[in-house]
Each structure stands twice: as structure tokens, then as C-alpha cells.
Chains A and B, each alone.
Chain A
Amino acid sequence: MDNSAFQLAKQAILVPSDLQESDIHRVMDQLLNGSVDNGDIYFQSSHYESWVLEDGIIKEGSHNIEQGAGVRALSGEKTGFAYSDKIDLPVLLSAVKNVQAIARQGQTAKTSLPGRTPYPALYAPINPLSSLSDQEKVDFLRKIDAETRKLDPRIEQVIISLVGVQDHILIANQGSSLVGDVRPLVRMNVSVIVEEKGQREQGSMGGGARSDYHYFLEQDRALGFAREAVRQALVNLEAIPAPAGSMPIVLGSGWPGILLHEAIGHGLEGDFNRKGTSAFSGRVGERVASSLCTVVDDGTLQDRRGSLSIDDEGTPTQCTTLIENGILKGYMQDKLNARLMGVQPTGNGRRESYAHTPMPRMTNTYMLPGESDPEEILQSVKNGLYAKNFGGGQVDITSGKFVFSASEAYLIENGKITHPVKGATLIGNGPDVLTRVSMVGNDLALDSGVGTCGKEGQSVPVGVGQPTLKIDALTVGGTNV
């Protein structure tokens, strides 16, 4: 395990609360004393800052400090949970008392968890908030604003935001010693409004990583976001109404991988499958995609937004194959669902904060590259839609129906990209859609580090990616009937 991250997390959480490791052992003993199968305590201390530039001025900034501890007791399928914004011994002991009520409802069957396994740190235990001085942050935003406005005379409005987070985590688990992590996260976004002949459009682009603010200074990234935002807005000024109906779709590489996240990913989360509420329940070993498709969830990519050295239950993350050559291989698991389904946890137990209970969540979900040249994929379509970029999406995991909204799309006519069309929603059926993938590009790209996934009211940062893909038929929700 990464000692320095662990030591730093201990320093940030236990020292100010005047708690010793021995106190935590005492609370854990108390917690596991009742008839519970398992229990954990999740300590968190989180610093978050945001800066917003609008109308050419630094309009606002805010600094948030969030800290607390969540105590959980598990007994069979039952969970007792309590949390507090205070981290001290009496509060923890009273939370333990509260959550043990769950055990009295249930049976006893203590299981022992595997001990601590070593794992590599996937990001440095740094503090992004102090990686630039406040003066440097605002100077940087002003500079990007000035450069953005020079890009095109039709730019009316520029809004730039910069966000940095440093999360300290400590997790006390049954049968293993305390583990900890320090998680940096930065995010930047540029959005513009352009106007021409009284018509207005917006464009927006951003990125981020488990790194510090220098990430945006490198490789011209910040201005790259600006150029992309302006380009998208200008393209949309020219857009004509989108077609309506079923047609072949070519999806661009990178962020359009949100298709996998919505159509496949959520349906493969362990909780839904244990409960039999997912359209993918009980389908391991079956064909759910064309043989061109291999999809993984990989929490181990260096510095990426969706990556974690350990998940929020202390399990090291891994690369889990979800679909291999079209065959469903397995689900993403947290500890509770893994135990109940008789499989190993996959390092996908995540929670928004100490005030929320963990559940199986995605990390970085993407499709491995195929062999087709992206150009050749476009040329194979007579009449269809090329969806280059997307807003968000949503899925009903039970019926399998999912949607995602194109923010930049073009008509394909006779194998060529022609007119840009207005944002349209694409709708399909998860267990079906990948069976219609007939070409997979050789251009795998991951998104720029902007994804946030919501599930049962909890938000966590995630990544997505894919190569250019051709889907033989998908419904496009335009107005041009």
C-alpha cells in the first residue's frame, strides 16, 4: 500500500480529531460485537474550491470543507448506516449503537475478509488547491478568457470554471488494518455563447484528471478546451433540424463512450443483478454484443478522473472485463453484493461521501479498439447520422431502455459527412444495441475527464471511452419526420 498517502490521510483526519488508531479499533470491536456479518467506518476530510470567470471578471469563488464519518453494519442482506459531521469517539460510539439495530433484526454468520493486499498508487497524494497560488489561478482564468475572446468575433459570452478537490479517506474494515488514500481531482470548463444574425448557440468543453492545476497549463489544454467550445457553438449555428426515425449511426471516439456507460454499464452493476432487477440479470455467458465488442471497467488507469487506488471499501481497483468478444463475462461488485452472489469484489464499491452508503459503481468504462479505419466506417454508411459528441444520458436498467443526447451531430449522405444537425436524443435498448455494432474503429480514445455519474442520488466521477463505432440501427429523435 502507498504509505505516504495513508500517513497523510491519517494526519489529516485523526490528528485534528484527537483520535488514535487504537480508538478506531475499539469502535470496530464494538461494531462487530453484535450479530453482524461485517462492518466498516469511512472517514473523510475533503477540501473543495471553485473559481468562476464570467463577463471577463472573476465573479465568484468558494471554498468548501466537508468532513465526517459513516458507520455501517451489514447483516445478511441488511445494512444499518449512520453518519456524523463530527469525528470523535462519543459520536462514533453512538453511531455504532444506532446501526447495530439492524443486526438484532437478522441472523449471525461472521465471515472473515481477506487481509490487506498491497496495491499501487494511481495518482500522487498531492493537494491541487495549493498547486497554484490564488493570484496565479485568477491570472490563468483571465488569460484564457482574453485568448478565447480573440478566437472569433461572434463570441458573446465566455464562462470559465476551475475546480479543485483534495479528498482524504480512511477506511476501517473487519479483518484488516486501517487503509487510507489521498485523492486529488481537478476539473476545468469553458463554455461560450456565440451570436450571428440574431441567432445564438452554445458550446462547452472541459477536462480534468486526478492531478493538480498544472495539468491545464500543459500541452495547451486550457486553450484547447476554449477552441473546442467555440468550434462546437459555431457548428451548431449552421445546424439544420435533425432527422427522426431509425437509421445507421456512427458514434465518434472518446466521450460518446457514454453509450457504454448507459446502455451496458449500469445494467452490469452487481446490486441490480443480485436483485434480478436488471435487463442483464442471469445472463453471464450469453451473447449480449457483436463479436467485435470487448468492454472493460478499469479503475487502474494512471491519473484518470474515474480511477481509484482503492475503492471506498478499501478494495484495490482492477480492470474487469464486462464483455469479451460479445459474451457477457461478469458484473461490477462491491463487498456486500459480491458476498451475496458468491463472487469476489471487483473494487467497484463507491460512495459520494461519508454521508452515503457504498454501492457498485463504474470507474472508467470503455470498449477496446477494433480494426476498422474511422474513415472507412463513415464511408460504409449510405444515409445515417454521425454523432460526434454528446451531452448526458440516462438508463432504465429494468427495461434496458437508454437515451443520450447528441450535442454535435452530422448527416451522413453517401458515405460523406454533410450538414450539421441540431442536437437530437438517441434512444435504444441496452441488451440489444451492441449486437448491432457492425464496425469498430482502431482509434480508441478516452474522454477528457469530465464525467459524473448519478445513481440513487449519489454522484461520483467516472471516465468513459470508445473507438469510432457503427451501429446498424438506432432511433434518432429529431423533428424532421
Chain B
Amino acid sequence: MQTQQEITRLQTTIHELLLEAKNQGASAADAGLSIDNGLSVNVRLGDVETIEHHCSQGLGITVYFGQKKGSANSTDLSEKSIKETVTAACSIARYASDDPYAGLPDPDRLASEFKDLELYHPWDLSPNDAINLALSCEDTARQYHPDISNSEGASVDTYQGIRVFGNSLGFLHGYASTRHSISCSVLGERDGNMERDYWYSVARNHKNLESPELVGKKAAERTVLRLGARSLTTRKAPVLYSAEVASGLISSFLGAISGGSLYRKSSFLLDSLGTKVFPDFINIYEQPHLLGALGSACYDAEGVTTKANKIVTDGILDSYLLSSYSARKLDMQSTGHAGGVHNLCISAGEQDFQQLLKQMDTGLLVTELMGQGVNPVTGDYSRGASGFWVEQGEIQYPVQEITIAGNLKDMFQHILAVGNDIDYRGNIRTGSILIEEMAIAGE
């Protein structure tokens, strides 16, 4: 296979990079290379709008002179550029300070087994094929309802890439992966007010994508449901985060238990290891080796082996998320989280989405959040929201121009249920999350 040849070629380049670093006096180094190719088409109102051909490459090197560190990146993989990039990294390292915690991972933590995670499924898709898929997606959306008045279009994207990583401890590995997606965004209009919503499907293997028609239908359905949205009066009420926005709550949690925020003391979950962060029924774990999943990886960004971690058991925090550096700062061991988590899962309850609505009875269903509004140091949370007002377990009407606010520490403790309507489109896999009460501000 051509891909294998390409990986081998890039591995040779990694060797050259590491050798060059050594020749320039570095005591240790790591290096990464990437090559990406892609096609992206967008159609709008039944006609092609853009066809984009993507083709990019990059190299990155980090060098250590004892405990001093420097790094450099370039989009030029030529021999001349390799030399210059290493020189740039070395000259920075010379001016960096001695940092007792800096350095490559402990050798025994590096990955040594490389299972084929089935991440590479190229899609032989011509621009014309892609256009036709996008057209049928957008067409379905536009036909869905008379209130659909305009379109931002439908897109089909396909990417394939190669990543190769190595370090001066002898670690060297490369793999190929693919990622394909279909998305659609349409507008609806009622009584002079416009609303817009979208839907997308993404997968490593294009056979696992939702059909273009389904993506189009969901985009249109979501748009039409938003028409006629109004604000709410200011109040306190239960809030149900739909699965696609619930992952944002979990990522705030992950930020708070990541090594960087902990050693900087910029987390609202300092010293929380072994303490109760969530209710009893919450379990959070990681499955980095799922075949063909979007977040799968054998090793983290510095080559440390990834494993099936338990992060939260029965509501109690079992593990922080640490890189080698943050682990040393905290006098702990790396957990293989340089660069983040891999397929993080929240244990789902028995209830589906409809049952969660019933359990909430009266409250706010949130389907979109806006703005940053999260203070990572204190956990104070206030974000713009839109969604639906729910009474007796039934959706009453769409709402917007409101905010929801609380404190994350408190919100986590007051999770009442997690649904089994899991959204598999990202690295965080969660169902809808019901929170007992939040402050809602409106008109």
C-alpha cells in the first residue's frame, strides 16, 4: 500500500530530524510529522458553491539541552528546512531556563504495542460524487417544510492523513487515518423572524455516515422546531442538556482535572482526587482502543501508552489527566493524557431522551449554548442558551435570548440523570444530562 511507503518515508525523515538535533548538541528530542489531503465541497440553493482541495504538511520538533526546552515548527519538509527548524528550536532552548520537570517521558511509559485501531478508510470520492451527495442532502432539507426559506448549504468533506512521531529514546511510530463528514445548515422564517440550525455526521469510515438525506432532514427539522422562539422570564428551573451540548459540560470537567490547570492552581477542582465530585451513579471512563472510533489512539502526544482509564467511579474522582510534565510537577505518574482524552465515556442510565423529559417534568431543555462564560478557576458558569420550555414532560415552545447560570462544582453534584441517547460524534461520548436546578435569566 502507498500509505505504508509514505509512513516509512516519513519515519526516515524523523530519524534525520532527531539526528540533526543530536548533531546540534541536543541531549534529547522528539519530532512529529503530518501530511493531510482532503476534498471539501459545498453546495447552496441547488448549485455548487465551493470546491476546495486541501493538501498540507507540517513538522514539529522539541529539543532539550539538559533541562532546557525549545521547539519549532515548519510547513516545509525539505532537507534545508529540517536543518533550519532544528536550529531554530535549539536557539530557543539556549535561552530557556532550567526546568527540573522538563524532559521526555519515562522510557517504561512509552507505548510498545501498536494495535491496528482501524482508523484508515479512504473514500474514493470524486468532486462530482461529493457534489451529488451534498445536493441530495440540501435538497431534502429544503423540501422538508414550507417554512424552510433559505440555506447556508450542505457540505461533504473527506480527509486522509498520516502522523509519524518519534523521540530520542527510540520511540518511532506512524499511522494513517481518515475522517469524513456531511453537514447541512438551513434557515426557516416565520412572522418575519429567521432561525437557523444545522446537523452533521462524521466518521472514520464513510459507510458509518448518516445518509445525506437523513442529515438534511435533521437539519431542517431542528430549524423548523426553533421557529417562533421567545424569551422566558427570569426564574430557577431544572435544565436538561441535550446530548450534543452535554459534552461541553464534561469538557469543562476534563479541563479542571487536567494537569496544567492543577499545577497552575487554576482549577475549581484542586485537591479533589478521591473526593466525591459527582453523584453515586456517575462513572466516567476512557476507551482509547475502540476500533474505528474518532478519538482512538495507541499513545498520547508524547508517545506514552494510552489505556482504559477509570476517571470517576461511583461519583468519586479516581484520576487526574496528566502529561509527563504535569505529572512531575505534581509528583505523580503520567496518565497518558498529553494532548487530551481518547474516547471518554459517561456511563448512561436506563432512560431515553423522552423519559428524561418526563423526569424533568417542568424545566428547560437546552439544545444550543453561546459564548465562553465559564471561569475555570472558580467554576462560575453563565452562558447564552436556546432550546425549549418543557411542561409535564412535553415540549411547549422554543425559547431563546436567555442565559443559564450556576457553579460547575455544584451543577456536577446535582446531576439527576444521564440519558442513553449517546452522541458518538466526538471524543466525549455522553447522553443528555439533567441538572436539578439552574438560574435562568430572561426578559
* B47 at the A interface (CB under 8 A): yes
Residues of chain B with a CB closer than 8 A to A427's CB? 370, 384, 401-403, 441
* B72 at the A interface (CB under 8 A): yes
Residues of chain A with a CB closer than 8 A to B73's CB? 62-65
Residues of chain B with a CB closer than 8 A to A85's CB? 55-58, 75-76
Binds B, one of A274-282, A293-301, A374-382: A274-282
* B48 at the A interface (CB under 8 A): yes
* A403 to B384 alpha-carbon distance, docked (Å): 6
* A156 to B279 alpha-carbon distance, docked (Å): 32
Residues of chain B with a CB closer than 8 A to A66's CB? 74-75
* A84 at the B interface (CB under 8 A): yes
Residues 419-452 of chain A, each 1 if its beta carbon lies under 8 Å from chain B, else 0: 0001111011100000000000000000000000
**Smallest Cβ-Cβ distance to A199: which chain B residue:** B378
* A68 at the B interface (CB under 8 A): yes
Residues of chain B with a CB closer than 8 A to A98's CB? 53
Chain A contact residue count (CB 8 A cutoff): 80
* A422 to B375 alpha-carbon distance, docked (Å): 10
Check if B48 sits within 8 Å of A102, measured CB to CB.
yes
Residues of chain A with a CB closer than 8 A to B150's CB? 275-277
Given A101-B127, A244-B439, A477-B441, decide whether A57 and B384 contact each other with a Cβ distance below 8 A. no
Q: Count CB-based A-B contacts (< 8 Å).
A: 258
* B400 at the A interface (CB under 8 A): yes
Residues 286-298 of chain A, each 1 if its beta carbon lies under 8 Å from chain B, else 0: 0000000000000
The DSSP consensus for interface residues of chain A is strand
Check if A95 sits within 8 Å of B196, measured CB to CB.
no
Interchain CB contact (< 8 A) of B50 among A137, A357, A394: A357
Check if B372 sits within 8 Å of A82, measured CB to CB.
no
Binds A, one of B2-10, B94-102, B302-310, B349-357: B94-102
Could you tell me the distance in whole angstroms from the C-beta of B153 to the nearest C-beta in chain A? 9
* A200 at the B interface (CB under 8 A): yes
**Smallest Cβ-Cβ distance to B237: which chain A residue:** A481
Could you tell me the distance in whole angstroms from the C-beta of B423 to the nearest C-beta in chain A? 21
* A172 at the B interface (CB under 8 A): no
* B405 at the A interface (CB under 8 A): yes
* A69 to B52 alpha-carbon distance, docked (Å): 14
Could you tell me the distance in whole angstroms from the C-beta of A135 to the nearest C-beta in chain B? 6
Residues 231-244 of chain B, each 1 if its beta carbon lies under 8 Å from chain A, else 0: 10011100000000
Check if A61 sits within 8 Å of B54, measured CB to CB.
no
Given A57-B98, A60-B70, A202-B266, decide whether A65 and B76 contact each other with a Cβ distance below 8 A. yes
**Which chain A residues numbered 54 to 80 have a C-beta less than 8 Å away from chain B?**
54, 57-68, 77-80
**Smallest Cβ-Cβ distance to A281: which chain B residue:** B194
Chain B contact residue count (CB 8 A cutoff): 77
Residues of chain B with a CB closer than 8 A to A276's CB? 150
* A49 to B373 alpha-carbon distance, docked (Å): 29
Could you tell me the distance in whole angstroms from the C-beta of A179 to the nearest C-beta in chain B? 23
Given A403-B373, A479-B439, decide whether A61 and B96 contact each other with a Cβ distance below 8 A. yes
Given A82-B53, A275-B152, A399-B194, decide whether A105 and B48 contact each other with a Cβ distance below 8 A. yes
Residues of chain B with a CB closer than 8 A to A81's CB? 50-53
* A404 at the B interface (CB under 8 A): yes
Residues of chain B with a CB closer than 8 A to A275's CB? 44, 150, 152
Most chain B CB within 10 A, of A245, A357, A395, A480, is at A245
Residues of chain A with a CB closer than 8 A to B50's CB? 78-81, 102, 357
Could you tell me the distance in whole angstroms from the C-beta of A359 to the nearest C-beta in chain B? 11
* A396 at the B interface (CB under 8 A): yes
Residues 185-217 of chain A, each 1 if its beta carbon lies under 8 Å from chain B, else 0: 000000001010000111000000000000000
Given A202-B375, A394-B384, decide whether A134 and B403 contact each other with a Cβ distance below 8 A. no
Check if B380 sits within 8 Å of A82, measured CB to CB.
no
* B323 at the A interface (CB under 8 A): no
**Smallest Cβ-Cβ distance to B91: which chain A residue:** A134
* A81 to B386 alpha-carbon distance, docked (Å): 35
Residues of chain A with a CB closer than 8 A to B442's CB? 245-246, 475
Check if A67 sits within 8 Å of B95, measured CB to CB.
no
Most chain B CB within 10 A, of A60, A77, A423, A476, is at A60
**Smallest Cβ-Cβ distance to A405: which chain B residue:** B373
Check if B439 sits within 8 Å of A355, measured CB to CB.
no
* B69 at the A interface (CB under 8 A): yes
Residues of chain A with a CB closer than 8 A to B89's CB? 62-63
**Smallest Cβ-Cβ distance to B260: which chain A residue:** A54
Could you tell me the distance in whole angstroms from the C-beta of A159 to the nearest C-beta in chain B? 7
Check if A401 sits within 8 Å of B52, measured CB to CB.
no
Check if A401 sits within 8 Å of B401, measured CB to CB.
yes
Check if A399 sits within 8 Å of B400, measured CB to CB.
yes
* B404 at the A interface (CB under 8 A): yes
Sampled A-B contacts (9; CB under 8 Å): A62-B92, A65-B76, A83-B53, A159-B264, A201-B377, A396-B196, A398-B187, A422-B380, A475-B442
Q: Chain B residues in contact with chain A, CB under 8 A?
A: 44, 47-58, 69-76, 81, 84-85, 88-89, 91-99, 127, 150, 152, 187, 193-196, 229, 231, 234-236, 264-266, 370-373, 375-378, 380, 382-384, 386, 400-407, 439-443
Q: Chain A residues in contact with chain B, CB under 8 A?
A: 49, 51, 54, 57-68, 77-86, 95, 98-99, 101-102, 105, 134-135, 137-138, 156-157, 159, 193, 195, 200-202, 242, 244-246, 275-277, 279, 355, 357, 391-396, 398-399, 401-405, 422-425, 427-429, 475-481
19 new A-B contacts at CB < 8 Å, known A200-B378, A475-B443: A54-B264, A61-B95, A64-B74, A66-B74, A78-B49, A80-B50, A80-B51, A101-B51, A101-B127, A102-B48, A102-B51, A277-B196, A398-B196, A403-B383, A427-B384, A427-B401, A475-B401, A480-B439, A481-B234
